[in-house]
Each structure stands twice: as C-alpha cells, then as structure tokens.
C-alpha cells in the first residue's frame, strides 16, 4: 500500500508546489523586467541634462581677422538723402518716378498744373513788350527834340529866331531824355516781372537735386503737393525720396567702456546680415562726441571702402574693428582651428575640451599651438565646425547629457 502512494519523478516535475513549470518562468521574467525598468528609471533620473554654453570652432585664417579689437553692430545709413518736393503748392499732373528708379541730377521727376502760371508768364511778357515799345517811342521823340534844338541854335546864330524859342527846344531835349530814362526803368521792371513769372512757372517742374536712387514714391497724379505741411491729410509734402548711394556708410553703437580703442582711420571689416560671407573693407570716419545715456554707447561713423549695389540703407551690419590694416602680404596661417580659451580644461593631466555630439559631452584631448590673437590654436583633436562647451562645469564628464543655451 505504501508503494502505491509514492509519487514518481515525472509527476513531481509537472506538479511541483502545486503550479505548472511555465507559470514559474513567467513570474521570473516579470521580476527581471521590473528590475531592468527600475534600473533604467534610476539612470535617466540621475543624469539630468546640464545647461551649457557652446561655440563653433573655425579653421585658422577663416572668419573674422584674428587681430579684431572689438565688434559692434549698427545699420547702413545715407549721408545724402532728400525728400523732393515742389517749391509751390499745386496739383500733380504727372509723376515720372517709382521705387528703384535711378535718376540723374536735373532729371524731371514730376510736373504740376501750370495753366495759371503760364498765363501769368504770358501777361508779364506782354507787359515787357509794351515797355520796350514805350522806350522806342521816347527814344524817337528825344531824337526829334535834339534835331529841333540844333536848328534853333543855327537860326539864333543868324538872328532869325528868338532866344525864347531856342530855350524851349533845349528844354524839350532835357524832358524827352528824362522820359526815355523813365521808360527804360519801366522796361527793366517789366523784364524782372518776366523773370519772376518764368521762375514761378519753372517751379511746376520737380527735378532731381542730385544723382541717386528713388527709395519711396510719396504722391500720385491728381494730389495736391505743397512745400508746407497742411492739415487734414489731403496735401502731400513730397513727391518721393532720393538717396545718393555713393554716400552710404555705417553707423554703429560702441559700448562706451571700449570707445577709447576706436580711432579715426582705424581699419574695419563690415559684414551685412543679409550677406554673412561677404566682408567689406572699411575704416572709421569719426567718433561722434556724444553718448547715449540710456544705452551707454557712443555712435561711430564707418565708411565703406567698396561700393556695391547690394548695400542699401537701413541694412543691419556687424563691424569688426581691426588692430592694423595688414597691407603687407601675410604668411600662410598655421594649420589648425581657433579655440576660445574658456573652452580649454585640464583632464587626466592634459589639455582637453568637451565636444557636443548628439546631445552628449565627448571629452577630447587636444594639442595646442601658439596663441593667435585672443584664440588658442589647436593642431590636433578638433576640426573646423566642431561645437565645444565654453567654461565646462566641474561635474561635466564623458557622456553627460547637455543642452546648449545658444
């Protein structure tokens, strides 16, 4: 009977502990999965990204010159710009300009209604002709009076006339001479009126005061234009704005703490925001002796040494002030990249930097060359375009998660 109650080995394996074997395998898998998840959560929670500032290194000899003293931003301005208007009030009958047109000095830009002034000019010219006719009449009368006086003198010498008659002819000569002089003055006044009327008539034609480019058209045909501002908004004060492109320069604001480094004729490099790869040689014209109290800056005028159609007023520009003009040919730059010195750290007894790679910090040992201006030359360990961490924190290490401030 005892032998019949004994459980054999096969039955013990299938019913161990009252549970099937596959259930025990499932429980073990769930335990391992939970442990792995907890470990992953602990790793991610314990490695929060570090907020760092980064910079991109460039090859030596590229980008801004190494002898940059300081940099400032500003805008392209025109030293010669004019809003052109008429010198009289009138109605526009013709506008011959539009934005972007190039004009020459004296070129007709617009015309006003000239019917009234044309009539005034015609009246003045008629008055001048009448005055000239009066002069001719007085001149003829004077000649006649002079002939009569000569005859009376001859007759008086022969005793054939009286002295009174001779004196009357002499007086007539003086009177006609005075009348001729008055007629001449009236003719001059009439000619002056003609000139005045012609000038007023010429004011109906608006001309360009200098060579330039039209940057704005401010009036249309049929509108009233006036050199004086009128209320109500129905009167225009200008036909358009012309800018002399040869007078373009750059105005930059330099922090007053560094203004002592800027001198007249100091060489510069100007880079337009619209064309970041185009470096325009320039030089300092003058430092304006006035500071902005609110911004703590001083305005500096910078002249562009090269003129180009791409440069237009009000463009944003960055100016690099250089230590020297560098007129002499320079030797080829040393191979390597320029590293901001604040990115350099000491790790494992040597020079190293942290490079940003897929959101993580990668520690690299670097080999340094000579200083290049305010940069450190790196000959090994970096390449142009690498993004490095500036002022790495002490807890930054290989593989740390980082987020750039830039």
- Between 55 and 184, the higher pLDDT residue: 184
Q: What is the pLDDT of residue 340?
A: 87
Q: What is the pLDDT of residue 170?
A: 93
CA 54 to chain centre: 31
Q: What count of other Cβ atoms lies within 10 Å of the Cβ of residue 268?
A: 27
Q: Is 60 exceeded by the pLDDT of residue 15?
A: no
Highest averaged pLDDT of the listed ranges 107-111, 257-261, 393-397: 107-111
Let me know if 67 is exposed, middle or buried by CB neighbors in 10 A (0-12, 13-18, 19+).
Answer: middle
Let me know if 219 is exposed, middle or buried by CB neighbors in 10 A (0-12, 13-18, 19+).
Answer: buried
- Give which of 233, 201, 199 is closest to 219, Cα–Cα: 233
Q: What percent of the chain has pLDDT over 70?
A: 81
Q: Is 204 left (phi over 0), alpha (psi -120 to 50) or beta?
A: alpha
C-alpha 360/C-alpha 348 separation (Å) is 19
Domain residues of the chain, as ranges? 2-45, 50-64+332-404, 68-79+244-322, 84-108+208-241, 115-202
Q: What is the pLDDT of residue 28?
A: 61
Report helix, strand or coil for 273. Answer: coil
Q: Is 50 exceeded by the pLDDT of residue 41?
A: no
Q: How far is CA 71 from CA 4, 77, 249, 261, 266, in A?
A: 101, 18, 17, 11, 13
Q: Is 70 exceeded by the pLDDT of residue 328?
A: no
Contacts of 45 (CB under 8 A, 6+ apart): none
Q: What is the pLDDT of residue 332?
A: 53
Two tokens, residue 402: 């980082």
Which fold, 84-108+208-241? OB fold (Dihydrolipoamide Acetyltransferase, E2P) (2.40.50)
Q: For residue 254, report the phi and psi dihedrals to the nearest 5 degrees.
A: -105, 130
Q: What's the whole-number mean pLDDT along residues 97-108?
A: 94
- Cα torsion for 360, 362, 368, 370, to the nearest 10°? -10
C-alpha 265/C-alpha 284 separation (Å) is 5
Q: How confident is the model at residue 44 (pLDDT cuts 50, 70, 90)?
A: very low
Q: How far does the chain reach from its first CA to its final CA, in angstroms?
A: 87
| CATH entry, 68-79+244-322, from 3.30.1360.30, 3.30.2350.10, 3.20.20.150, 2.40.30.170 | 2.40.30.170
Q: How confident is the model at residue 237 (pLDDT cuts 50, 70, 90)?
A: confident
Q: What's the whole-number mean pLDDT along residues 379-391?
A: 88
- Between 29 and 228, the higher pLDDT residue: 228
Is domain 50-64+332-404 classified as CATH 3.40.50.300? no
Q: How confident is the model at residue 309 (pLDDT cuts 50, 70, 90)?
A: confident
Q: What is the pLDDT of residue 203?
A: 92
C-alpha 388/C-alpha 190 separation (Å) is 85
Two tokens, residue 2: 């005892």
C-alpha 352/C-alpha 368 separation (Å) is 10
Two tokens, residue 29: 């898998």
Among the ranges given (41-45, 62-66, 103-107, 252-256), the one the predictor scored with the smallest mean pLDDT: 41-45
- Give which of 69, 72, 68 is closest to 298, Cα–Cα: 72
CA angle at 378 for the pair 375 and 380, rounded to the nearest 5°? 175
Task: Name the average pLDDT for the chain.
Answer: 84
Report helix, strand or coil for 119. Answer: helix
């Amino acid at each position: 009977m005892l032998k019949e109650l004994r459980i054999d080995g096969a039955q013990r394996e299938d019913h161990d502990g009252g549970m099937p074997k596959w259930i025990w395998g499932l429980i073990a898998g769930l335990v391992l999965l939970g442990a792995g998840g907890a470990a992953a959560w602990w790793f991610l929670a314990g490695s929060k990204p570090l907020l760092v500032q980064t910079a991109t290194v460039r090859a030596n000899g590229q980008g801004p010159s190494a002898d940059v003293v300081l940099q400032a931003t500003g805008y392209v301005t025109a030293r010669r710009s004019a809003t052109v208007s008429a010198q009289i009030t009138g109605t526009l009958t013709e506008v011959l300009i539009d934005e972007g047109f190039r004009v020459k000095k004296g070129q007709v830009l617009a015309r006003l209604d000239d019917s009234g002034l044309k009539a005034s000019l015609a009246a003045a010219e008629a008055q001048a002709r009448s005055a000239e006719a009066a002069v001719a009449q007085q001149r003829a009368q004077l000649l006649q009076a002079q002939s009569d006086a000569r005859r009376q003198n001859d007759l008086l010498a022969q005793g054939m006339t009286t002295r009174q008659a001779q004196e009357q002819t002499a007086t007539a000569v003086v009177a006609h001479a005075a009348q001729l002089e008055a007629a001449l003055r009236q003719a001059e006044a009439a000619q002056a009126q003609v000139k005045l009327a012609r000038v007023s008539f010429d004011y109906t034609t608006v001309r360009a005061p200098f060579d330039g480019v039209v940057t704005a058209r401010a009036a249309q045909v049929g509108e009233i234009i006036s050199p004086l501002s009128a209320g109500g908004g129905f009167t225009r004060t200008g036909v358009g704005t012309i800018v002399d492109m040869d007078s373009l320069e750059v105005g930059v604001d330099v922090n007053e703490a560094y203004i002592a480094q800027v001198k007249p004729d100091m060489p510069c490099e100007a880079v337009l925001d619209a064309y970041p790869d185009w470096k325009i040689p320039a030089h300092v014209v003058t430092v304006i002796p006035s500071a902005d109290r609110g911004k703590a800056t001083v305005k500096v005028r910078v002249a562009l040494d090269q003129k180009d159609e791409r440069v237009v007023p009000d463009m944003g520009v960055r100016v690099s002030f250089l230590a020297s003009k560098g007129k002499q040919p320079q030797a080829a730059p040393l191979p390597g990249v320029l590293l901001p010195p604040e990115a350099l750290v000491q790790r494992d007894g040597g020079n190293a930097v942290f490079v940003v790679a897929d959101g993580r910090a990668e520690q690299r040992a670097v080999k340094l060359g000579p200083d290049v201006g305010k940069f450190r030359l790196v000959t090994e360990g970096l390449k142009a375009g690498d993004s490095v961490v500036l002022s790495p924190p002490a807890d930054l290490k290989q593989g740390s998660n980082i987020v750039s401030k830039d």
